[in-house]
């Protein structure tokens, strides 16, 4: 069998660890591994590269993806789906492992459903917003980066008696903000799913000051909607997403807090630092387990399925289930975060 592998959407730490694990298992079984370059673009344009033992070695600690990624959506391109099917056949591939988030796996689910395409999925995204799995790989690394930043900001905030606002990623959900905020001891967290107003945030900060704490850390998720805030560029990618970083929500929040409370405020936007570099041990292990499971799903012909984590077990779920809706931060997590506001 010739098994293709692609990585689509925003990159994240652990992608290469998945490629390595898929490769090790399919090669052990006597199959070939083929890299489909730059996400779905590789199948739309027929860009493939053989991946042998040498290419997949030394990948565990390596960030990014050795096969590249784009946000190409075949359903938005003229004849895109036909080209995917033709190029898949021309490359003599019999199965595909798609490593991606809601967009990449949404395409995979649809191709399987409508074209009987032999694809299995692996849940990737620093945002942790895919349903049907407890965690996506890449999330733990992003949370670690954000937590370290919050820790570092504490000391400078305290020296200057400032409010430090940290803007973290998370396109639709506040997972990174909530988990790094809890880990780093944030005094206020602003996320799209459980939005508190700037007035409430300012009340929390004032309460801290009344208790004798002259500095505060505010974590804001990039998807938080500030009343009357800038909606940024209206340009969208092939999946209909705007570039959230351009809205500058962190800077706007810092400005509002300073104006309303009189406390000097600064903003730090973590941006792509959260996605770059080496994965944490936890992400390497999760990515490895997902990769082996994906190879097993291919071997068993269980297409249209995705490797998923449930508790401590790796299981498989329908791609359709995983991509039907986003997994938002539940009330229980929010209650833990809120208990430390102010």
The span from the CA of 220 to the CA of 256, in Å, is 13
Position 164 contacts ligand F6P (CB under 6 A):
no
Does 171 bind ligand F6P (CB under 6 A)? Our answer is yes
- Residue 169 in contact with ligand F6P, rule: CB under 6 A: yes
Neighbour tally for 184: CB within 10 Å: 21
The reply on whether position 125 binds ligand F6P by CB under 6 A is yes
**Segment interacting with ligand F6P (CB under 6 A) among 50-58, 73-81, 163-171, 211-219:** 163-171
- The DSSP output letter for 309 is E
CB nearer to ligand F6P: pick between 83 and 171: 171
Q: E-strand spans in the chain?
A: 2-7, 32-36, 48-51, 95-100, 119-123, 163-168, 188-190, 216-221, 265-269, 305-310, 313-318
Nearest to 301 by CA among 122, 123, 119: 119
Nearest to 59 by CA among 8, 27, 17, 6: 17
224, 196 in Cβ contact below 8 A? no
Question: What is the distance between the alpha carbons of residues 125 and 220, in angstroms, rounded to a whole number?
Answer: 19
Interaction of residue 247 with ligand F6P, rule CB under 6 A: no
Q: Is 41 in the site for ligand F6P (CB under 6 A)?
A: no
**Would you please indicate which residues are annotated as catalytic (active-site) residues?**
127
Pair 9, 107: CB distance under 8 Å: no
For ligand F6P, which stretch binds (CB under 6 A), given 29-37, 168-176, 300-308, 315-323? 168-176
Q: How far apart are CA 7 and CA 24, in angstroms?
A: 17
What angle do the packed helices 102-115 and 80-90 form, to 10 degrees?
Answer: 80
Shortest gap between Cβ of 295 and ligand F6P (angstroms)?
Answer: 25
Number of other residues whose CB lies within 10 A of the CB of residue 318: 17
- Of 275, 289, 293, 320, which one interacts with ligand F6P (CB under 6 A)? 275
**C-beta closer to ligand F6P: residue 76 or 160:** 76
Question: Looking at 137-286, which runs of residues are DSSP E strands?
Answer: 163-168, 188-190, 216-221, 265-269
Q: Of residues 94-113, which lie at the interface with ligand F6P (CB under 6 A)?
A: 101
Question: Which part of the chain contacts ligand F6P (CB under 6 A), choosing from 110-118, 147-155, 167-175, 293-301?
Answer: 167-175
Q: Determine if 10 is a binding residue for ligand F6P (CB under 6 A).
A: yes
Q: Which helix (H) or strand (E) holds 199?
A: helix 198-210
Interface with ligand F6P, residue 126, by CB under 6 A: yes
Number of residues that bind ligand F6P (CB under 6 A): 12
Q: Should residue 204 be labelled a site residue for ligand F6P when binding is judged by CB under 6 A?
A: no
Q: Binding of ligand F6P at residue 193 (CB under 6 A)?
A: no
Assigned token pair, 122 = 């692996």
Q: According to the binding rule CB under 6 A, does residue 170 interact with ligand F6P?
A: yes
Minimum CB separation from ligand F6P for residue 9, in Å?
A: 6
Question: By CB under 6 A, is residue 327 in contact with ligand F6P?
Answer: no
State the Rg of the chain over Cα.
21
Window of 124-132, 208-216, 300-308, 332-340 that interacts with ligand F6P by CB under 6 A: 124-132
Rank residues 51 and 270 by Cβ distance to ligand F6P and give the closer one.
270
- Please identify, using beta-carbon distances, which residue of 39 and 342 lies nearer to ligand F6P: 39
Should residue 136 be labelled a site residue for ligand F6P when binding is judged by CB under 6 A? no
Q: How far apart are CA 4 and CA 87, in angstroms?
A: 11
Give the span between the Cα atoms of 311 and 255, in whole angstroms. Answer: 41
Smaller CB separation from ligand F6P, 160 or 272: 272
Binding footprint of ligand F6P on the chain (CB under 6 A) = 10, 101, 125-127, 169-171, 222, 243-244, 275
């Amino acid at each position: 069998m010739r098994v293709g592998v692609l990585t689509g959407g925003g990159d994240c730490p652990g992608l290469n660890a998945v490629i390595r694990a898929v490769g090790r298992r399919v090669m052990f079984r006597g199959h070939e591994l083929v890299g489909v370059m730059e996400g779905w673009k590789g199948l739309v344009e027929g860009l493939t590269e053989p991946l042998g033992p040498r290419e997949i070695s030394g990948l565990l600690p390596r960030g990014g993806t050795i096969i590249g990624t784009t946000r190409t959506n075949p359903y938005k391109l003229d004849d895109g789906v036909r080209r995917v099917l033709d190029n898949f056949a021309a490359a003599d591939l019999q199965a595909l492992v798609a490593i991606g988030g809601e967009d990449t796996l949404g395409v995979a689910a649809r191709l399987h459903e409508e074209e009987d395409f032999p694809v299995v999925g692996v849940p990737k995204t620093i945002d942790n917003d895919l349903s049907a799995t407890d965690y996506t790989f890449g999330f733990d690394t992003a949370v670690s980066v954000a937590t370290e930043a919050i820790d570092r900001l504490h000391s400078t905030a305290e020296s200057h008696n400032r409010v430090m606002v940290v803007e973290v990623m998370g396109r639709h959900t506040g997972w990174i903000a909530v988990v790094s905020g809890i880990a780093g001891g944030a005094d206020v967290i602003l996320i799209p799913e459980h939005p508190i107003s700037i007035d409430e945030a300012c009340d929390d900060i004032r309460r801290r000051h009344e208790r004798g704490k002259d500095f505060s850390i505010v974590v804001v998720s990039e998807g938080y909607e500030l009343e009357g805030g800038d909606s940024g560029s209206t340009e969208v990618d092939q999946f209909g997403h705007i570039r959230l970083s351009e809205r500058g929500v962190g800077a706007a929040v810092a400005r509002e807090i300073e104006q309303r409370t009189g406390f000097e405020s600064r903003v730090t936007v973590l941006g792509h630092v959260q996605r770059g570099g080496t994965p944490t041990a936890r992400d390497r292990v999760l990515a490895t387990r997902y990769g082996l499971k994906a190879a097993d799903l291919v071997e068993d012909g269980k297409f249209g399925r995705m490797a998923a984590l449930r508790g401590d077990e790796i299981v498989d779920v329908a791609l359709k289930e995983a991509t039907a809706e986003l997994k938002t931060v539940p009330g229980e997590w929010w209650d833990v975060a809120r208990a430390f506001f102010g």
